[in-house]
């Protein structure tokens, strides 16, 4: 199988760099295009200091843009990268972006934070696996 387009799903946590490095290694191996996708999940926005949900989503989007740029600067350096920051249900948006961008494979991490059933694979990764027709590489992220 040949991969020409690799979609790397990252969040704005320190683990994003690990996921990005793995995606870059794969891209170099196949001389593939790379796109980063980050998702603002409006359903988990908490209201702080009287900010509206829209203001919170805008702030989160700005945070993801900054986080993506930091990953590009630290990991990809001169490797060209397309970026997407979208809003919605993370699994659905990852699948949608992969389809719309014609990705051949999705690279993403999993924190596995939702109990025994999700010990090895987090719920977002599990949902992407169930609903995407794309190849999927899941990078385990274990916090110490």
How far apart (Å, rounded) are the C-alpha atoms in residues 76 and 82?
11
Tell me what the mean pLDDT of segment 60-84 comes to: 89
Please provide the DSSP assignment of 112-135 as one string.
Answer: --S-GGGSSS-HHHHHHHHH--SE
How far apart (Å, rounded) are the C-alpha atoms in residues 94 and 88?
10
How far apart (Å, rounded) are the C-alpha atoms in residues 49 and 82?
34
What is the pTM (predicted TM-score) of this model? Answer: 0.85
Q: Which has the closest alpha carbon to 121: 102, 94, 140?
A: 140
How far apart (Å, rounded) are the C-alpha atoms in residues 110 and 124?
8
Domains of the chain: 5-140 (3.40.50.620)
What pLDDT is stored for residue 66 in this prediction? 85
Q: Which residues contact 24 (CB under 8 A, 6 or more apart)?
A: 34, 75, 76, 79
Lowest mean pLDDT among 10-14, 55-59, 66-70: 55-59
Segment 82-91, tens digit of pLDDT: 999 999 999 9
What pLDDT is stored for residue 116 in this prediction? 47
Q: Torsions phi, psi of 102, nearest 5?
A: 60, 40
What pLDDT is stored for residue 47 in this prediction? 56
How far apart (Å, rounded) are the C-alpha atoms in residues 98 and 48?
33
Please provide the DSSP assignment of 58-71 as one string.
Answer: HHHHHHHHHHHHHH
What pLDDT is stored for residue 91 in this prediction? 94
What pLDDT is stored for residue 83 in this prediction? 95
Segment 96-144, tens digit of pLDDT: 999 999 999 999 998 765 554 444 456 888 899 999 999 999 998 875 4
What pLDDT is stored for residue 46 in this prediction? 57
Tell me what the mean pLDDT of segment 41-67 comes to: 72
């Amino acid at each position: 199988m040949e991969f020409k387009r690799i979609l790397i799903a990252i969040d704005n946590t320190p683990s994003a760099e690990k996921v990005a490095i793995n995606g870059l290694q794969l891209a170099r191996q196949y001389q593939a295009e790379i796109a980063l996708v980050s998702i603002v999940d409006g359903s988990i926005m908490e209201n702080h200091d009287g900010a509206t949900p829209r203001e919170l989503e805008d702030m989160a989007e700005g945070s993801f843009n900054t986080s993506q740029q930091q990953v590009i600067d630290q990991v990809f350096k001169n490797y060209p990268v397309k970026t997407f920051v979208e809003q919605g249900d993370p699994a659905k948006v990852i699948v949608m972006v992969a389809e719309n961008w014609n990705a051949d494979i999705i690279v993403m991490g999993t924190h596995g934070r939702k109990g025994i059933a999700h010990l090895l694979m987090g719920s977002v990764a599990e949902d992407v696996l169930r609903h995407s027709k794309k190849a999927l590489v899941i990078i385990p992220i274990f916090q110490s």
